[in-house]
A and B are shown apart, each in its own frame.
Chain A
Amino acid sequence: MWGRIGRLAWWLAALGVSFSSRAAAEPLRLRADAVSEVRAPTGLVILQGQDKKYPWLDAEALVWAGARTDPTADVLVLTLKLRAPRGWGDLRLGRFVFSTGAIRPLALDGVAATARAPWGLSGEVFAGVPVVPRFAISTHDQAAGGRLAQRIASRATVGVSYTEQRARGVLSERELGADLALVPAPLLDIAARGAYDLVSPGIVDGNISGATRFGHFRVELFGTHRSPSRLLPATSLFSVLGDFPSQVLGGAVRWEAAPRLDVMLTGGGQDIGGELGGYATLRGTLRLDEDGLGRVGLEVRRQDVPLSQWSGVRATVSEPLGDHWRVSSELEVAAADASSDRGAAWPWGLVALGWRSRKGWEASAALEAGSTPRYRFEMNGLLRVSRTLEVP
Chain B
Amino acid sequence: MNRHPSLVLVISLLLGACAGVLGIRPTPSHPFEHRAHVLKGVGCLSCHAGVPSAGDSDGMHFPVTADCVRCHTTPHDARTCENCHGEAHVRGGAELARRHLKFEHRTHMPAAQGDCVRCHVEVGVERPEALRPKMAICFGCHQHEDQWRTRDCDGCHVDLAAEDTLPTSHLVHDGDWGREHGVRAASARDLCASCHSERYCAGCHGVGVVPALPSRLTFDDVRLSGLHRAGFRSRHALEARGQPGLCTTCHSERSCMDCHATLGVAAGSANQSPHPPGWLTTSRGGGQHGTQARLDPMSCASCHGGAGEKLCVDCHRVGGPGGNPHGRGFSSTKDKLTDVPCRLCHGIP
Contact = CB atoms under 8 A, between A and B. Distances in A.
A207 to B, nearest CB: 4
A238 B300 contact: yes
A366 B217 CA distance: 11
Contact of A290 (B24, B27, B242, B250): B27
Interface in B203-219: 203, 205-209, 211-212, 216-217, 219
A105 B206 CA distance: 9
B330 interface: yes
A12 interface: no
Contacts of B203: 62, 76
A390 B233 CA distance: 36
A316 B244 contact: no
A336 B207 CA distance: 30
Nearest to B201: A97
Interface in B140-157: 146-147, 149-152, 154
B295 A240 contact: no
Interface in B299-349: 300-301, 304-305, 309, 312-313, 325-334, 339-342, 344
A272 B295 contact: yes
Interface in A244-259: 244, 246, 248, 252, 254, 257-259
Nearest to A43: B211
B23 to A, nearest CB: 3
Interface stretch (B63-71, B74-82, B222-230): B222-230
A76 B210 CA distance: 11
A297 B223 contact: yes
B122 interface: no
Given A170-B339, A181-B186, A374-B265, A211 B175 contact: yes
Interface residues on B, range: 35 or more
A286 B24 CA distance: 12
A145 interface: no
Contacts of A235: 340-341
B246 A226 contact: yes
B224 A285 contact: yes
A366 B245 contact: no
Contacts of A164: none
B334 A234 contact: yes
Contact of B253 (A60, A191, A209, A232): A232
Contacts of B242: 270, 279, 303, 305, 307-308, 310
Nearest to A312: B235
Nearest to B150: A87
Given A200-B330, A241-B330, A236 B253 contact: yes
A368 B231 CA distance: 10
Interface stretch (B9-17, B112-120, B131-139, B177-185): B177-185
A120 B217 CA distance: 40
Interface stretch (A2-10, A13-21, A347-355): A347-355
Contacts of B244: 226, 228, 246, 272-273, 307
Contacts of A86: 146-147, 150, 152
Contacts of A310: 235, 238, 242
Interface string A268-288: 001011010001010101111
Nearest to A374: B265
B205 A99 contact: yes
Nearest to B187: A181
Contacts of A87: 146-147, 149-152
A151 B188 CA distance: 10
Nearest to B297: A238
A374 B264 CA distance: 11
Contacts of A29: 162
Contacts of A273: 244, 291, 294-295
A346 to B, nearest CB: 4
B293 A241 contact: yes
A310 B182 CA distance: 26
A320 B200 CA distance: 25
A68 interface: yes
B266 to A, nearest CB: 10
B176 A79 contact: no
B182 A207 contact: yes
Contacts of A33: 217
Contacts of A110: none
A82 interface: no
Contacts of B185: 99
Contacts of B293: 238, 241
Nearest to A273: B295
B333 A52 contact: no
Contacts of B246: 226, 246
A243 B329 contact: yes
Contacts of A286: 21-22
A42 B213 CA distance: 14
A208 B208 contact: no
Contacts of B205: 97, 99, 105, 107
Contacts of A68: 262
A191 B333 CA distance: 31
Contacts of B334: 171, 199, 234
22 contacts: A35-B217, A62-B199, A62-B212, A76-B206, A101-B186, A118-B149, A131-B207, A132-B207, A158-B187, A181-B186, A238-B293, A238-B297, A241-B327, A242-B327, A244-B295, A261-B22, A264-B175, A266-B179, A286-B22, A314-B224, A317-B222, A384-B220
Among all A-B residue pairs, the 3 with the closest Cβ atoms: A242-B327, A87-B150, A243-B329
Given A97-B202, A242-B327, 16 more contacts: A87-B146, A99-B201, A118-B146, A192-B183, A207-B182, A209-B183, A232-B248, A232-B301, A235-B340, A237-B305, A244-B327, A290-B27, A297-B224, A314-B230, A330-B222, A372-B231
